[in-house]
Amino acid sequence: MNLFAEWSRLLDLLGVPAEPAVLAAAPDSDDLLRALATLRPHARVTLLDIAPGLQSDQTADGLPVASPVQRVAFLPGTELGLPEDSLDLAVFDHAIDDVVVEAIAQHEGIHSHAQGDRGEYSARPRALRAYWRSGDLETVAVPAFLALVQSCLRAVRPSAHLVFHHRVLDAHLLAGHPLDLYTEYLPLARRWIAEAGLPLREVALDSFAPSWWMCLQRPG
């Protein structure tokens, strides 16, 4: 899958303005940022750090964007602090799982550290598996996820979009993510948002598989 090409096509499909303000949570790839740098070089990008204490490859000097980048940290249950009606696009590229894991880690008091998670026996994957097996995962993860979506919803302009993308990464499975949960993050997120009754409508994306892509629009 050529995600750079997919993100490039999506930016045009959604009619993203020439100089957009974009919130981007893309912890595992820079394909979205490269697409913005290529097609929207004057984009004003705010990076959402899902696990701010963990080591990140997205250093300030190495980001493939032309404009200066700001950062905002995700702290489960808190507001992002973004100005209302300030964003043209909010994107979560393979970030739903990170939001869930971070919510559980905070609930368990598992602190971030520079070495990150090193295999299936490290603290975060073990806690994730335990919550999934016990049936308690949604009790902890859903409020944190919905608070994040609501914070983004207030920040996006009318008629702007929130885009969620998920894919299966072998490295995450090897790190201990349960397969039956890992492949269902996007359907779960879709259900959580629908059950919460948030003022968002899903937009069908031609040739983008709904099992891996979800595009939501704030009513104009």
3-217 to CATH, choices 3.40.50.150, 3.20.20.100, 3.40.190.10, 3.30.300.350: 3.40.50.150
Q: Are 22 and 36 in contact (CB under 8 A)?
A: yes
159 φ, ψ (degrees, to nearest 5): 75, 0
Tell me what the mean pLDDT of segment 165-171 comes to: 81
Report the relative pairing of strands 156-165 and 87-93 from DSSP bridges: parallel
Residue 63 has pLDDT above 60, yes or no: no
Instruction: Tell me the average pLDDT of the chain.
Output: 87
Q: Are 64 and 30 in contact (CB under 8 A)?
A: yes
Per domain, the residue ranges of the chain are: 3-217
Of 45-54, 132-141, 169-178, 202-211, the range with the lowest mean pLDDT is 169-178
- pLDDT for position 121: 64
Contacts of residue 220, Cβ cutoff 8 Å, sequence gap at least 6: 158, 159
Greater confidence, 10 or 59?
A: 10
Residue 206 has pLDDT above 50, yes or no: yes
Categorize the per-residue pLDDT at 77 as very low, low, confident or very high, splitting at 50, 70 and 90. confident
pLDDT tens digits, 2-48: 889 999 999 999 999 999 999 999 877 789 999 999 999 999 999 99
Interhelix angle 185-196/137-155, rounded to 10 degrees, is: 70
Contacts of residue 178, Cβ cutoff 8 Å, sequence gap at least 6: 128, 129, 132
- pLDDT for position 186: 95
Q: What's the residue count for the chain?
A: 220
Segment (H or E) for 203: none
- pLDDT for position 156: 97
- pLDDT for position 169: 73
3-state secondary structure of 8: helix
Residue 82 has pLDDT above 90, yes or no: yes
pLDDT tens digits, 87-113: 999 999 989 999 999 999 999 998 765
pLDDT tens digits, 119-158: 666 888 899 999 999 999 999 999 999 999 999 999 999 9
- pLDDT for position 109: 92
- Cα three-residue angle 181-145-82, rounded to 5 degrees: 145
3-state secondary structure of 143: helix
Q: Is 149 exposed, middle or buried (0-12, 13-18, 19+ CB in 10 A)?
A: buried
